[in-house]
Structure 1
Amino acid sequence: MDYNIPLFDLNYDEQEEKAVVDVLQSKWISTGPRSSELEDMFCDYFNVGHAVSLTNCTVALHLAMEVLNIQKGNEVICPSLTFVATANAIKYVGAIPVFADVKGEDDLTIDPEQIRKLITENTKAIIVMHYAGFSCEMDEILAIAEEHNLKVIEDACHGPLSEYKGKKLGTIGDVGCFSFFSNKNLSTGEGGMLLTNNPDLAEKAKLLRSHGMTTMSYNRAKGHSTSYDVVALGYNYRMDDIRASLGIVQLKKLRADLEKRKKVRFAYERELKSVKNITVPFKNHPYFSSNYIFPVILTKEVEKNRDEIRNLLHKSGIQTSIHYPPVHLFDIYYDEKDEGLSKTESVYNRLITLPMYGNLSEEQVEYICKKLKEYAV
């Protein structure tokens, strides 16, 4: 159905169109100067040493496993309240995802105390996911990792330019991974980025993203080399310059768009402040957030179930979603370790993701909240 108020809206205009046309006219459309420019911009915007442009965030997570030498039989602790790609990347290298619970209804990020309890002699890494663009408790998680000699991977697909104590998310752990999927804050349709301050990890990621080849086509086309060797079993994970050109424009727009999203969040919080049957996670969060999505949690006193309320909102022209079905409940993961995930399951059963984008008007927010109040009784 067509929605009067969609869940998200692209922040696109003629700038993206011109960027793509410029690439087409350049006659170089695969990985090349635009991809390198986008990587340099990420290093600058995020104050990080190295950026590797990739086809999507899933492969960024996969390469994070590879470059950190996560192997078959290793255990990697991760949240279950995340998109399935977070856990899939662990499986790609034969490792075992061990799912941790969320902190609670007010904070849907991974619980550090749960992480500590789940560590075994086989644990090799922790993947955190900065839910909705709000930071996990990174100081505590890094302390746990240091104590047990564990690697930390940040799934920062929700959090471009989000911060934790003055640092950009995705630059705090060993490796950070970003998504440029069509509904993300920074959108290129498909695309992703791997960030790290470790030059060795960056070089390995660059090698593996292009079949383990010592040079790429653009280097040879420019006369920087005439041949190549293959020194590792790599993949075809390269970003093309068409998508990179979109990413360059989107990154330049990002800060202004996030400021608009912040105002949208304030409007939601104002409208829902006195509503007893709805909890708004991350209220009073102290650090800058990308506000990728706006989740609400229905209280257990609400008479209608979550899906009934979503259907009523849809009939009112308001698109909603659920971020996310817990990964440990999917058939493929049902046999994985999933003890102690009661908070995740409880939150999921009562969670609704409401529309969130920079151009959402106050009048639209008021209408969404009005309808939500009517139904959540």
Structure 2
Amino acid sequence: MTEWRVPLSVLDYGVEEAAAAQRVIGRKWLSMGPEVLAFEREFAALQNCKYAYALSSATAALHLAMHAIGIGPGDEVIQPGANFVAAANMTLLAGATPVFADICSLTEPTLDPRHVEQLITSRTKAIVPMHYGGNLARMRELLEICKQHGLMLIEDSCHALGAAYHDAQGRAPHRSMAGSIGDIGTFSFYANKNLACGEGGMLVTDRDDFSERIQMMRSHGMTRSSWERHGGAGSYDIAVSGFNYRLDELHAAIGRAQLAKLLDGNARRRQLLARYRDGLRGDERWSMVFADRVEHSAGHLMVVVADSAETRTDGVRALRDIGVQTSRHYPSILEFSGFRERFTAHLELTHQFAKRAITLPLHPNLSVEHVDEIVHTLRALP
């Protein structure tokens, strides 16, 4: 395993997370209980939403969202081809068909509302925009499309916890937090996320009609949790067929410690994004995504797009040579063997983005000196 001098992401962990884990160990209750309930309350308060349900992953959240909405065989779900594969996989596992739309541009790699409108058919049931790198999709336009066509909107907010939506004029609607704008929002607490638990996720909604069903479906369809039964609530019923998508107490306690650091961490990430932006300004070979929206970003990813695939390769190699880790977010879903043989969509911008984008290091403990070194290396390419 390579020991990177400047890794892509580093956990912002300390005594707070250790104390949270020890609190659970001292209580001697590991399955879903008081830490999960507190995590959900605190998360809902940040989101300014009615309901938040802690889950085993964001993939579980996407799956539950589709079941709650009633997506199934014969339905189509429009989503970006530039995304992690979870939303597409959950669409297929729900029995529906993912329909892939292109991105707005190489520097705005979120779902293009104009292409979405072209793809709507009588079978379309929902749209799943993804807030790329901590930057929100064009929600005002997508919400209008959903209203006009009677569609549901599930937000893939795994990159955008703590970010608020602002339109092109800088206006924020009343329901502006990423994940709380559409019908259902989903979040990830994977190890590289702004709020990192290793695994885990959250589903949020203001919809009363979804709430009870989602709560039961995450735990086998049971009407009472084990914590409630432990407290003397008695037996339980199985009201619907469900899954085991619960979050445990250890992950929830660590999640609470991470949630307390989230907004300060996001602010530090924005400072580093601005440093990258200012350092790269004027270099025609590199374009930073969402460079004009740094002040509204959750700052999950720092991504630049090269002027060619060859320049990208040269940049990755030069950074590797000085011990700087890079990544790719994301290959086009249509590049994967399990999808390219089944789906024929041609997404030119998504294809170009996948070939030319580099994800650079970004985390709250990254130094400005390392940012400057990375920028210098990219600018110094022959």
> Aligning the two structures, in what range does the TM-score lie when normalised by the shorter sequence?
over 0.9
Map 1:84-95 → 2, pairs under 5 A: 84-95=85-96
Matching residue's letter, 2:81: S
Root mean square deviation of aligned Cα: 1.2
Q: Check if 1:322 corresponds to 2:323.
A: no
Among 270, 293, 298, the residue aligned to 1:262:
270
Alignment partners' CA distance in 2, 1:307 and 1:276: 16
Total equivalences in the alignment:
373
- Corresponding residue to 1:347 among 353, 358, 365: 353
Per-residue CA deviations over 1:26-71 (Å, capped at 9, x if unaligned) read 0111100000001000111110110000000000000000000001
- d(CA) in 2 for partners of 1:168 and 1:284? 19
Partner SS, residue 129 of structure 1: coil
Checking the alignment, whether the CA contact within 8 Å between 1:100 and 1:338 is kept in structure 2 is: no
The within-5 A match list for 1:155-170 is 155-165=156-166, 166=172, 167-170=176-179
Gapped regions of structure 2 (runs ≥ 5): 167-171
TM-score, normalising length: structure 2: 0.95
Distance 1:274 1:50, change over 3 A: same
1:185 aligns with 194
Query: Is 1:171 aligned with 2:180?
Result: yes
Deviation readout 1:297-333 (Å, 9 max, x if unpaired):
0013x7x342343122112100000000111111111
Moved more, 24-33 or 278-287: 278-287
Does the Cα contact within 8 Å between 1:23 and 1:242 map onto a contact in 2? yes
State yes or no: 1:243 paired with 2:244.
no
Contact 2:273–2:294 (8 Å) recurs in 1: no
Question: Hey, what's the Cα distance between the residues in 2 that align with 1:342 and 1:270?
Answer: 29
> Alpha-carbon deviation of 1:92?
1.2
Match of 1:71 in 2: 72
Match of 1:271 in 2: 279
Q: Which residue is equivalent to 1:229?
A: 237
Q: Equivalences for 1:122-133 in 2 at 5 Å? A: 122-133=123-134
CA contact (8 A) 1:163 1:287 kept: no
Q: Residues 196-233 of structure 1, C-alpha deviation per residue, up to 9 Å, x if partnerless? A: 0012212111100000011111000001x211111211
TM-score by length of 1: 0.97
Query: Does structure 2 conserve the Cα–Cα contact (< 8 Å) formed by 1:97 and 1:336?
Result: no
Indicate the residue corresponding to 2:218 in structure 1.
Answer: 209
Query: CA deviation digits over 1:116-165, x for unaligned, max 9?
Result: 00001110000000000101110100100111100000000000011113
The yes-or-no answer on 1:297 pairing with 2:305 is yes
Q: Which SS does the other structure have where 1:247 is aligned?
A: helix
Q: Distance in 2 between matches of 1:259 and 1:338?
A: 41
- Counterparts of 1:29 and 1:337, CA distance in 2: 43
Instruction: Give the superposition deviation at 1:286.
Output: 7.4
